[in-house]
Chain A
Amino acid sequence: QVQLQQWGSGLLKPSETLSLTCGVYGGSLSGYYWSWIRQAPGKGLEWIGDIDHLGYTYYSPSLKSRIIISLDTSKNQFSLNLSSVTAADTGVYYCAKVSRIPAGPKWFDPWGQGTLVTVSP
């Protein structure tokens, strides 16, 4: 049973870079896509981006200019960097594994525990 555990910077000032890492336990990165998703206070869920086991990335168009998602296969973990943060980037950030039916629907399962990120001067 794959479990995800995430960690990273929780309090940032505007213009700084958000950095989060998600460790994958009980399974391998190989053969799967891995995602980051966030939730602003009082808002719904927003997909940020994916990375596959080869390192190919897929980013939300609205965040693409500020995101880097990377992979460290030696440590079985993946990371999110979001640059030039503002108060609008405040929220809970989740990592997740993308489960899928081959060439068919995909869904997020399981999820990491979430990390609260606050951007404040």
Chain B
Amino acid sequence: EAGVAQSPRYKIIEKRQSVAFWCNPISGHATLYWYQQILGQGPKLLIQFQNNGVVDDSQLPKDRFSAERLKGVDSTLKIQPAKLEDSAVYLCASNPTTQGNTIYFGEGSWLTVV
């Protein structure tokens, strides 16, 4: 079974530029998450989708971050304009249902803002 796919794996951009990360969850998984992991910290949930609807985006900085999950399959997370403090690993994860307990993580997209 293929895992959660993310791209690009690494990205370096200058502050005020924009960046987009893509995620393809495990086939058939209805729930998709984006987490932000800053160096030295645990991952923090940014947004949760159930199919193509948003379940929780309370911790998403909406002035600069946006995410969509068209057709309820893959998802894109965008940052515009980027700030230095956005340097982090962006982890995508998926889960078969909202009641399922096991979340499967991708390898992450590493962002450095200079």
Mutual binders A and B: no
**A-contacting residues of B (Cβ < 8 Å)?**
none
